[in-house]
Amino acid sequence: MTEEYALRCVLMLCCALLSANASNWLYLAKLSSLGSIRDEETCERLRGLIQRQVQICKRSVEVMDAVRRGAQLAIDECQFQFRNRRWNCSTLETMPVFGKVVTQGTREAAFVYAISAASVAFAVTRACSSGELEKCGCDHNVHGSSPEGFQWSGCSDNIAYGVAFSQSFVDVRERSKGQSSSRALMNLHNNEAGRKAVLSHMRVECKCHGVSGSCEVKTCWKAMPPFRKVGNVIKEKFDGATEVEQRKVGSSKVLVPRNSQFKPHTDEDLVYLEPSPDFCEHDPRTPGMLGTVGRQCNRTSKAIDGCELMCCGRGFQTQEVEVVDRCSCKFHWCCYVKCKQCRKMVEMHTCR
């Protein structure tokens, strides 16, 4: 083997490994030292973007700070939703930020893709509403009076813009031609399910106008749910996710439940291809596989946060730790609440 050939093999292997992960753009959340993403030149230097995302970046530089906030939002929400699970959504300082956990077609990967696609739609829409973007603003299709007798007014969130941007930016790798692997189908489905979690929980918020809140005139606008709500919805979908496999129907490929007894999944459900590992032990060869040694657990819970399941049968240690709490709070006229600090001892259990 010539040296050049060997080098090319290594490069190709690296490319294959890198491109095997369509969620590398989440690495944007780690680039806080970069400052604002202001010019096209910066787009070239953003690690984690594939070439077509760099092109989108250049076309829509002003949206990129929102995309980066979206990446951070996705990571934070994942860590919140998984705080009591064996895999707790820890990030690495390298790509992919969740390590090997998202390179396999597991339920955890399904969650990560869904929450990421949702978070970009959410953060971009928020940026539109706040007036920081020239390309979009409030949703002006929402106006006039409603059948319920209120006036549409104020800034309705332009979720259509955020969703469209998320589709073009987040899905770009899977939408390119030749990507009809079962994994690409899985990612696309879960991305779409994530965005649906925002879309189908849009709400109407209103304000009353009139003498002393009499509500003679009511004005309302469409608003996104809080992102925590989106996280809760996607976590529920994670709990009920469907294991699927690829099937050929006519000339196209689709994902169908592996167990034909199960009812087919809907557009809003999460799907996955492979069972998850047990996440019990630290595996230095598998980035992101931290294991559960040292994790806190709940002695009385029978669920996954309970010491039995969390510690994978290895047992746990108990320590007395002092916690400082606010207590005997008193309301003072007017208007503040004053509390004392109380110290108390609580038992804390950690996995062996």
Ligand X SMILES: *[C@@H]1O[C@H](CO)[C@@H](O)[C@H](O)[C@H]1NC(C)=O
Least distance between ligand X and beta carbon 295 (Å): 5
Measured from the CB atom, is 50 or 304 closer to ligand X? 304
Amino acid at 220: C
Alpha carbons 254 and 202: distance in angstroms, whole number: 29
What's the start-to-end Cα distance of the chain, in Å? 49
Least distance between ligand X and beta carbon 322 (Å): 15
Least distance between ligand X and beta carbon 329 (Å): 21
Binding part of the chain for ligand X, among 52-60, 125-133, 190-198, 292-300 by CB under 6 A, reads 292-300
Binding part of the chain for ligand X, among 44-52, 223-231, 289-297, 310-318 by CB under 6 A, reads 289-297
Measured from the CB atom, is 79 or 145 closer to ligand X? 79
Binding part of the chain for ligand X, among 62-70, 181-189, 192-200, 287-295 by CB under 6 A, reads 287-295
Measured from the CB atom, is 75 or 136 closer to ligand X? 75
Least distance between ligand X and beta carbon 280 (Å): 11
Using rule CB under 6 A, residue 298 touches ligand X = yes
CA proximity to 103, closest of 168, 178, 26, 43: 26
Measured from the CB atom, is 132 or 281 closer to ligand X? 281
**Binding to ligand X, residues 86-105 (CB under 6 A):** 88, 90
**Binding to ligand X, residues 28-87 (CB under 6 A):** 79
Alpha carbons 275 and 106: distance in angstroms, whole number: 6
Alpha-helix runs per DSSP H in 138-259:
159-170, 172-175, 182-199, 227-239
> Which of 295, 297, 307, 309 forms a contact with ligand X (CB under 6 A)?
295
**Burial of 132 from C-beta contacts in 10 A (0-12 / 13-18 / 19+):** middle
Least distance between ligand X and beta carbon 111 (Å): 14
Measured from the CB atom, is 261 or 300 closer to ligand X? 300
Alpha carbons 72 and 123: distance in angstroms, whole number: 10
Amino acid at 291: G
| Residue linked to tokens 């073009």 | 168
Measured from the CB atom, is 88 or 179 closer to ligand X? 88
Least distance between ligand X and beta carbon 172 (Å): 28
Binding part of the chain for ligand X, among 7-15, 34-42, 57-65, 291-299 by CB under 6 A, reads 291-299
Judged by CB under 6 A, the number of residues near ligand X is 10
Binding part of the chain for ligand X, among 55-63, 253-261, 294-302, 334-342 by CB under 6 A, reads 294-302
Count of other CB atoms within 10 angstroms of residue 331: 9
Q: What does R_g of the chain's alpha carbons equal in angstroms?
A: 24
Which is it for the CA torsion 4, 10, 14, 19, positive or negative? positive
Measured from the CB atom, is 71 or 220 closer to ligand X? 71
Binding part of the chain for ligand X, among 51-59, 110-118, 185-193, 296-304 by CB under 6 A, reads 296-304
**Burial of 12 from C-beta contacts in 10 A (0-12 / 13-18 / 19+):** exposed
The answer for residues whose C-beta is within 8 angstroms of residue 99's C-beta and 6 or more apart is: 92, 286, 287, 288, 289
Alpha carbons 253 and 334: distance in angstroms, whole number: 66
Least distance between ligand X and beta carbon 103 (Å): 19
Using rule CB under 6 A, residue 294 touches ligand X = yes
For residue 342, give both structure tokens: 């109380």
The answer for residues whose C-beta is within 8 angstroms of residue 263's C-beta and 6 or more apart is: 257
Alpha carbons 255 and 292: distance in angstroms, whole number: 33
Using rule CB under 6 A, residue 179 touches ligand X = no
Residues that bind ligand X (CB under 6 A): 79, 88, 90, 290, 292, 294-295, 298, 300-301
